[in-house]
Structure 1
């Protein structure tokens, strides 16, 4: 006879994973704000700018923003790789941050 599934334990585990993913997302968004220099803005300025960005439906603007963001991340990856090359004696290491997909979605 099969052992019955403990749905409560599974649900509790999934809720914990969801909570961890949400915390990680919030931390990564904070790191993004800091790395772009947007932490110099007031909370009101940053919120207003993000609202305008989120409301923009112009595909051309969104594509331009996506390209600029991709260039930002590629430039950071190159700088990280050069610093790692010096520190690791020429061995290239991968940066810790995830690279955005080149789909142009601009999330």
Structure 2
């Protein structure tokens, strides 16, 4: 005999998952604003800048430049975090020594 599916429970679970994903996306956007220093701007200025970016996003050269700048920003942040971790483990000689000697 077939197992009866509980569509209401599945729909509720999907709704909960969608809300959780949206909450995570909003949190990550806030973290991005803070990490770039854009939180120092007035909300009107930040909104206006984003509107200008969206209006000019169709130009492929702009998007590529923004993408490369963004990638460089995240790589720079990753290296800074790596250095901090390496300096914390400097007594073990594992993480910091390999990069400094090579």
Taking structure 1 as the reference length, what is the TM-score of the superposition? 0.80
Superimposed CA distance per residue, residues 39-94 of structure 1 (whole angstroms, 9 cap, x where no aligned partner)? 000000000000110111221111111110100000001111111122244449xx
Q: Which is further off, 80-89 or 51-60?
A: 80-89
Q: Higher helix fraction: Structure 1 or Structure 2?
A: 2
> Counterparts in 2 of 1:25-104, with a 5 A limit?
25-56=25-56, 57-88=58-89, 89=92, 90-91=94-95
Higher-RCO chain (CA-CA 8 Å, sequence separation at least 6): 1
Structure 1 unaligned residues grouped into runs of 5+: 93-107
For residues 87 and 27 of structure 1, what CA distance do their matches in structure 2 show? 28
Distance 2:59 2:49 in 1: 16
Highest CA radius of gyration, 1 or 2? Answer: 2
Gaps of 5+ in 2: 97-102
Partner of 1:18: 18
Q: How many residues align?
A: 92
TM-align CA RMSD: 1.4
- The alignment's TM-score, normalised by the length of structure 2, stands at 0.84
